Amino acid sequence: MSIWFWIYLGILILSIIIEVSTTDLTSFWFAIGALVAMIVAIFDVPWWALLIIFAVLSTLCIIFLRPLVKKKFESATVPTNVDVAIGKTVVVQTKIQPEQPGEIKYEGIIWTAICEDKSATILEGSKVEIVRIEGNKMIVKQI
């Protein structure tokens, strides 16, 4: 076997290791290109042809397959814990003022709340929608 077989085997292994450690679905496509180039290298194809095969196949996989696979994985993501609170309507327990956070009650737990509109005041008893969560504070907007 030529040296190119071993080089592309090394690229294949390195790409898989990087993908497992990052899970960004980028290195995996280089592993596919390296696998095909490695198989073709068994037939003593010139190095420049192997390089073209590797580069073209990896690029095509990134351009066409990565978005499809990434979309499939993202659609399977289910919000967990307090992420499910986003979009829920709750009642203000303590007045929320521009420079002073108030409190809301979500599923029996009192949370510090800040208004998304920094200049707004929301009175106690008003209904608000949870927009996002930043640390231990819920960012809300008045309905």
Nearest to 134 by CA among 111, 118, 107: 111
Give the domain CATH number at 93: 2.40.50.140
Residues 64-96: tens digit of each pLDDT: 998 888 888 776 556 667 788 999 999 999 999
Mean pLDDT of 99-106: 93
Mean of all residue pLDDT scores within the chain? 91
Nearest to 51 by CA among 12, 4, 6, 10: 4
Q: Are residues 58 and 104 in the same domain?
A: no
Q: Are residues 68 and 93 in the same domain?
A: no
Q: Residue 91 is part of which domain span?
A: 81-142
Q: Identify whether the C-beta of residue 106 lies closer than 8 Å to the C-beta of residue 88.
A: yes
Q: Can you state the angle between helices 27-41 and 47-60, rounded to 10 degrees?
A: 150
Q: Are residues 9 and 71 in the same domain?
A: yes
Is a pLDDT exceeding 90 seen at residue 41?
A: yes
What total number of domains does the chain contain? 2
Rounded to a whole number, what is the largest CA-CA distance in the chain?
Answer: 77
